[in-house]
Amino acid sequence: MTRFSANLGFLFAEYSLPDAIRAAHVAGFDAVECHWPYDTPAADVAAALAETGLPMLGLNTRRGDVAAGETGLAALPGREADARAAIDEAIDYARRIGAQSVHVMAGVAQGPEARATFAANLTYACRRAAAHGLILLIEPLNRFDAPGYFLSTTQQAADLIDTIDCPNLRLMFDCYHVGRTEGDVIARLTALYPIIGHIQFAAVPDRGAPDHGTLDYADVFAAITALGWYRPLGAEYKPDGRTEDTLAWMTDLA
């Protein structure tokens, strides 16, 4: 039976983060993950996780100056100090709440200098994370939702992972992002399976619940199970209304 993680960046977003963890537990999720938890004391998050017994699969590094359009720092030449401070902060927060991974956000940048900057910052992050048993994730974002984002394809991510060659650096495979730009999601999952560290999903193309759209998640989830994946899959969709009213898919697709 497929297991699911609630991404609390989108699901149960009307609650505080500790209460969102509790709501995910009540709804039957097997794990949780989040985007940017830093405004919530880590002790409060850790307490909610302990109370519910849910694992926190991961969190993101800060985006930077959101008002200025920043959506990550790690690939921005000249911003290495800021990027590494964000990496250190994320690793420390993850350690304090017992999270399993950190997603290092690249940011809006292009070209070989950006790639070299990203690779250097990821190498730094891998060394820091390894001391705490943490996985580092990188995630390609589709060009429609994140124009100009440095990491935009799974092949680009795979090349970086191969170049950096750190055992705790993995691909975050988001079926929604891949489905928007790369075509056959199951074929890409199969090809990239050895380097995948986490899988997320949402309907294509509207990023809603996975019970509609052009991507048949009954087939996708069956393929993931056939590959041998056993960890919870991350529900990172934008609910239409209350999250609790959008969860029929958890039974229908499990």
The residues assigned a catalytic role are 139, 236
Q: How many residues can be counted in the chain?
A: 254
Residue among 206, 199, 216 at smallest CA distance from 239: 206
DSSP SS3 for 199: strand
Residue among 101, 106, 7 at smallest CA distance from 63: 106
Longest Cα separation, the chain: 48
Is residue 52 packed enough to be buried (19+ CB in 10 Å), middle (13-18) or exposed (0-12)? middle
**What does DSSP assign to residue 231?**
S
Q: Please say whether the beta carbons of 37 and 81 come within 8 A.
A: no
Tokens 């927060």 sit on residue = 93
Residue among 61, 144, 158 at smallest CA distance from 101: 61
Q: Please say whether the beta carbons of 130 and 89 come within 8 A.
A: no
Tokens 């998050």 sit on residue = 45
